[in-house]
């Protein structure tokens, strides 16, 4: 079997140099044409997926029929051996691959739940080897949701990921039904419950970082500013009690309106260093880390409803006021997510090696902190929690990759929307230009989040030639009227950036989907071979 010519993809995958066909694989191929009729040696053009390959025929075959082949390598030569279903080179029915899938299940002694996967690879005419599917059987056999396992393996197979257990586990972890913010909370709580003798430096650092992700310093400072403003309001007593729980019970002098305004501006502009200086002048004993830890405990008490009634009411009102800054908060969270979660960890290591600056490899983010902590953890439940969290981050990295001329990005991060915590999942797909830059005129962005009132919500944004189509997928009855009211403002804001709003519509969801389902459904098809 000879490949005549191969055009390299614009962005080759990691195994682009690996041979397409190898010994032991099975492939379902269709004979498109037979050349050299009446001649001693005949050539067949065989369609295998999106590829056309040529083969020298040593046995008679029929054009237009499909055959099941086994790849055999002998003396550096690749042969395709026909797997005969009855004897005498009988082709499998061209319209039904079920019989071929059942044949392989019997031949390779596979479980029946492998049928859907085998049917898929045969239908798509993708080469599959027995040892590959045996890996899947072993991994998926340990799962409760075997269908999800086979879908994950299929994604790996189609995207040509290395078929390793770590990659499989990572792609499975990113489909975890538990929101990421819940996983972070669970990890922080388990770390806090460890006895003092097990609280190593690496675990303490990890716990502080988890607290930082769930309650960023900016959010904590924003709440503190509002508490200080409440000292001049009827809620003064509750504000003093909450400040005391934050370790800020002794105000150096009376807080003037000018001081409060300067502190408020510093926090609003993100200048936390300046904010710390103002606070240290007001509270001589102020230290950021103890303050952030106390804020985390205060928020946990509020979430549990264990604060005093007046304190609970004031804290809730302060968090609700944050809804006015939801847009900037989400943008800020998205901007920091790649760095905080550790998406660039491997890239930082590579850069450090290339520039011979090893210090760069110790850059703090969640992924390296998890890797470091897992080296010395023996408590089974905590170890499983941290491993799942690590795999979740790696899974997001694996889903963010180039495929042909398209660039994919999948990001799932925890955000605080007023007093409500949720995850925001973003799937972004865009074209790369010849210069390697992303084309801003053509892309698709999908936002997936869960809100208190609207519940599960998906926003699908499609951009073609800077014309924007927006679909909001949600079944709330009054939402279309609300969307119509906001349409003029959305159109105006888009025009400020050079985009034209074509349509804003609300659709009822046809079926429930998890965020990662949108990524798994996407597939790029291109021509890899030409003759």
Q: Is 404 left (phi over 0), alpha (psi -120 to 50) or beta?
A: left
Of 130-134, 258-262, 296-300, the poorest mean pLDDT is in 296-300
Task: State the pLDDT at residue 531.
Answer: 24
| pLDDT band, very low/low/confident/very high, at 529 (cuts 50, 70, 90) | very low
pLDDT digits (tens, 9 = 90+) for 423-448: 888 888 888 887 777 788 999 999 88
> Residue 72: its pLDDT value, please?
81
Distance CA 197, CA 183 (A): 24
Whether 407-531 and 25-162 are alike in CATH topology: the answer is: no
Topology classification of domain 407-531: Transcription Regulator spoIIAA (3.30.750)
Read off the pLDDT of residues 24-61 as tens digits, 9 standing for 90 and up. 888 888 888 887 765 566 788 887 766 788 877 777 77
Distances (CA, A) of 375 to 200, 368, 379: 11, 11, 12
Phi, psi of 454 (to 5 degrees): -80, -15
The pLDDT tens digits for 69-88 are 888 877 767 778 887 665 55
Q: Write down the pLDDT at residue 323.
A: 45
Domain boundaries 25-162, corresponding CATH code: 2.40.50
> Above 80 in pLDDT, residue 391?
yes
Q: Which residue do the tokens 């303490």 mark?
A: 204
- Average pLDDT score over the chain: 79
pLDDT score recorded for residue 383: 93
Give the whole-angstrom CA distance, residue 421 versus residue 163.
36
Domain ranges of the chain: 25-162, 201-329, 407-531
Q: What is the pTM of this model?
A: 0.72
Rounded mean pLDDT of 488-515? Answer: 89
Contacts of 514 (CB under 8 A, 6+ apart): 175, 177
């Amino acid at each position: 079997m000879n490949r005549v010519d191969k055009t390299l993809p614009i962005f080759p995958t990691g195994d682009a140099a690996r041979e397409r066909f190898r010994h032991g694989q099975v492939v379902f191929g269709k004979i498109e044409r037979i050349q050299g009729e009446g001649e001693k040696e005949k050539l067949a053009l065989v369609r295998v997926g999106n590829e056309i390959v040529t083969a020298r025929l040593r046995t008679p075959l029929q054009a237009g029929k499909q055959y099941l082949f086994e790849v055999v390598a002998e003396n550096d030569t690749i042969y395709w051996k026909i797997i005969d279903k009855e004897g005498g080179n009988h082709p499998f029915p061209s319209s039904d691959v079920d019989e071929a899938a059942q044949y392989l299940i019997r031949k390779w002694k596979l479980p029946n739940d492998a049928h859907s996967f085998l049917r898929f690879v045969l239908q798509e005419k993708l080469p599959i080897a027995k040892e590959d599917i045996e890996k899947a059987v072993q991994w998926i056999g340990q799962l409760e949701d075997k269908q999800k396992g086979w879908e994950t393996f299929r994604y790996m197979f189609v995207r040509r990921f290395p078929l390793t257990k770590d990659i499989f586990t990572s792609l499975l972890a990113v489909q975890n039904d538990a929101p990421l913010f819940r996983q972070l909370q669970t990890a922080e709580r388990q770390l806090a419950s460890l006895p003092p003798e097990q609280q190593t430096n690496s675990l303490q650092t990890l716990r502080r970082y988890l607290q930082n992700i769930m309650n960023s310093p900016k959010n904590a400072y924003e709440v503190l500013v509002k508490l200080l403003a409440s000292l001049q309001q009827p809620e003064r007593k509750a504000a003093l009690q909450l400040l005391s729980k934050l370790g800020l019970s002794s105000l150096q002098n009376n807080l003037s309106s000018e001081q409060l305004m300067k502190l408020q501006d510093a926090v609003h502009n993100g200048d936390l260093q300046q904010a710390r200086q103002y606070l240290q002048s007001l509270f001589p004993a102020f230290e950021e880390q103890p303050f952030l830890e106390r804020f985390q405990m205060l928020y946990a008490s509020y979430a549990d409803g264990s604060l005093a009634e007046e304190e609970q009411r004031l804290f809730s009102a302060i968090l609700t006021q944050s809804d006015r800054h939801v847009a900037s908060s989400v943008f800020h969270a998205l901007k920091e997510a790649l760095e905080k979660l550790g998406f660039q960890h491997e890239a930082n290591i590579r850069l450090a090696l290339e520039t011979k600056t090893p210090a760069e490899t110790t850059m703090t983010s969640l992924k390296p902190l998890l890797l470091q902590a897992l080296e010395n953890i023996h408590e089974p439940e905590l170890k499983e929690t941290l491993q799942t969290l690590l795999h979740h981050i790696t899974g997001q990295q694996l889903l963010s990759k180039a495929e042909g001329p398209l660039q994919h990005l999948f990001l799932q991060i925890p955000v605080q929307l007023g007093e409500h915590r949720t995850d925001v999942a973003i799937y972004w797909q865009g074209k790369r230009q010849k210069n390697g830059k992303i084309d801003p005129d053509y892309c698709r962005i999908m936002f997936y989040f869960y809100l208190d009132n609207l519940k599960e919500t998906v926003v699908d944004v499609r951009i073609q030639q800077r014309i924007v189509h927006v679909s909001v997928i949600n079944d709330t009855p009054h939402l279309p009227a609300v969307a119509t009211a906001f349409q003029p403002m959305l159109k105006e804001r888009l025009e400020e950036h050079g985009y034209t709003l074509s349509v804003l519509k609300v659709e009822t969801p046809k079926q429930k989907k998890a965020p990662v389902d949108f990524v798994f459904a996407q597939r790029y098809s291109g021509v890899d071979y030409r003759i």
